[in-house]
C-alpha cells in the first residue's frame, strides 16, 4: 500500500497529518471564549486588563458598562460569588482579592455595587488600576427602585413590597436602604481620589454623554478616537436602546424613563419628610440639595 493510501479516509479524503492545522499547545483544552480573550490580550496593548465600575443599583452603571464594552477586545466579567449575594448580605460585594489582583485572561469590564469598606479601599490601592464610581440622586434611585423591585421577583425586596402602593414602597426604601445608600456615596466621595477612583454623576452622564464618556476613557488611561466616542454615545442613547424618547415611561422595563429629577413626580409630602429625616444633610453634601419649598 502506498504511503498516501495509508491515510485515506472512507470518504476518499486524505488524512495527511502534515497538512492538518494544529492548535497551539498553550490554547489546547481551553473554552473558545477564553481562547478568544487570550488572543485579544496578545493583539491589543491596553494598559489595564480590567475596567471596574462600582455604583449603587439603579444608577446607570449598566449603561456605562455597555458603553465600555464597545472598546474592541473587551468582555464582561462578574465575580461568580456575587451572583449569590443580595443587598441584605453583610459584606455585600466585598471585592475578591485574588481575582482583582489577577483578573481573568484578556480585557474585561466589571460592574459591581461594592462600597467604600476598608477592605475594598486597601485592595484598590494595592491593585493600582483606575476605576469609576457612579453616583445618582438617591431620590431618583428610589423613584426607579420602587418600579424595578416589582418587575424582578428574584429581588430580595420583592416579596415584602408586593401589593404596596408607590408611596408605601418609597417609605420602605427610606426605612431600609436610604441610610446605607447615603453612607455608600459619602464614603466613596471621600475615598475616591486616594484609591484611583473617578466620581461620575449619573446626571452629568445624562446631560453630556459624549463629554463624560471622553473623561472616563481618559481616566482609564485609554486613547480612543473621537469617532468611537460619538458612535458609542449614540448607539447607547435611551432612544436608540429602547425606541422611546427620554421621559416616556415604561414601568415594566429595566430602562424605565431615562431622565433625572423624576422623584418630584412621585414623592408625597410624607415621603419627603421621611427622606429628609434619614438624610440629615448628607444629600446636600453630595450636591443633591432640597429646595426650601420641599
Task: Give the tens place of pLDDT for each residue, 203-223.
Answer: 999 999 999 999 999 999 999
More confident residue, 12 or 183: 183
Query: Over 50: is that where the pLDDT of 12 sits?
Result: no
Does any domain span residue 237? yes
Helices (DSSP H) in 177-268: which residue ranges? 178-195, 202-207, 209-219, 226-235, 238-242
Burial of 233 per CB tally in 10 Å (0-12, 13-18, 19+): buried
Does any domain span residue 44? yes
Does any domain span residue 294? no
At residue 3, the pLDDT reads 41
What is the Cα–Cα distance from 237 to 246, expressed in whole angstroms? 9
Domain range enclosing 117:
3-285
What is the Cα–Cα distance from 23 to 261, expressed in whole angstroms? 55
Does any domain span residue 88? yes
| Mean pLDDT estimate for the chain | 84
Burial of 277 per CB tally in 10 Å (0-12, 13-18, 19+): exposed
Query: Over 50: is that where the pLDDT of 5 sits?
Result: no
Does any domain span residue 180? yes
Q: What CATH number does the domain containing 145 carry?
A: 3.40.50.300
Instruction: Work out whether the CA dihedral 206, 212, 216, 217 comes out positive or negative.
Output: positive
SS3 for 184? helix
> What percentage of residues in the chain have a pLDDT greater than 70?
82
**How does residue 151 score in pLDDT terms, banded at 50, 70 and 90?**
confident
Does any domain span residue 279? yes
Place of cell 462578574: 78
Does any domain span residue 127? yes
Query: Over 80: is that where the pLDDT of 26 sits?
Result: no
Query: Over 80: is that where the pLDDT of 49 sits?
Result: yes
**How does residue 91 score in pLDDT terms, banded at 50, 70 and 90?**
confident
pTM over 0.85: no
> What percentage of residues in the chain have a pLDDT greater than 90?
61
Per mean pLDDT, which range of 112-121, 157-166, 224-233 is the poorest?
157-166
**Number of domains comprising the chain:** 1
At residue 255, the pLDDT reads 62
Amino acid at each position: 500500500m502506498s504511503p498516501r493510501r495509508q491515510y485515506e479516509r472512507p470518504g476518499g479524503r486524505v488524512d495527511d497529518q502534515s497538512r492538518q492545522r494544529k492548535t497551539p499547545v498553550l490554547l489546547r483544552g481551553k473554552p473558545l471564549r477564553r481562547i478568544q480573550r487570550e488572543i485579544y490580550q496578545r493583539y491589543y496593548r491596553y494598559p489595564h486588563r480590567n475596567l471596574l465600575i462600582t455604583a449603587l443599583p439603579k444608577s446607570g452603571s449598566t449603561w456605562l458598562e455597555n458603553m465600555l464594552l464597545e472598546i474592541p477586545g473587551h468582555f464582561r466579567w462578574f465575580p461568580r460569588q456575587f451572583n449569590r449575594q443580595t443587598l441584605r448580605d453583610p459584606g455585600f460585594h466585598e471585592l475578591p482579592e485574588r481575582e482583582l489582583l489577577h483578573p481573568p485572561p484578556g480585557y474585561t469590564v466589571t460592574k459591581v455595587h461594592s462600597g467604600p469598606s476598608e477592605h475594598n479601599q486597601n485592595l484598590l490601592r494595592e491593585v493600582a488600576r483606575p476605576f469609576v464610581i457612579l453616583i445618582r440622586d438617591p431620590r431618583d434611585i428610589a423613584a426607579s427602585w420602587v418600579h424595578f423591585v416589582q418587575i424582578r421577583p428574584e429581588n430580595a425586596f420583592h416579596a415584602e413590597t408586593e401589593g404596596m402602593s408607590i408611596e408605601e414602597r418609597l417609605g420602605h426604601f427610606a426605612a431600609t436602604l436610604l441610610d446605607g445608600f447615603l453612607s455608600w456615596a459619602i464614603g466613596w466621595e471621600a475615598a475616591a481620589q486616594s484609591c484611583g477612583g473617578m466620581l461620575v454623576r449619573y446626571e452629568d452622564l445624562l446631560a453630556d454623554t459624549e463629554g463624560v464618556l471622553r473623561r472616563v476613557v481618559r481616566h482609564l488611561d485609554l486613547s480612543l478616537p473621537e469617532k468611537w466616542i460619538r458612535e458609542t454615545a449614540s448607539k447607547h442613547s435611551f432612544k436608540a436602546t429602547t425606541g422611546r424618547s427620554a421621559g416616556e415611561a415604561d414601568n415594566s422595563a429595566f430602562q424605565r424613563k431615562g431622565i433625572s429629577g423624576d422623584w418630584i413626580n412621585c414623592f408625597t409630602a410624607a415621603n419627603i419628610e421621611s427622606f429628609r429625616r434619614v438624610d440629615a444633610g448628607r444629600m446636600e453634601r453630595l450636591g443633591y440639595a432640597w429646595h426650601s419649598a420641599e
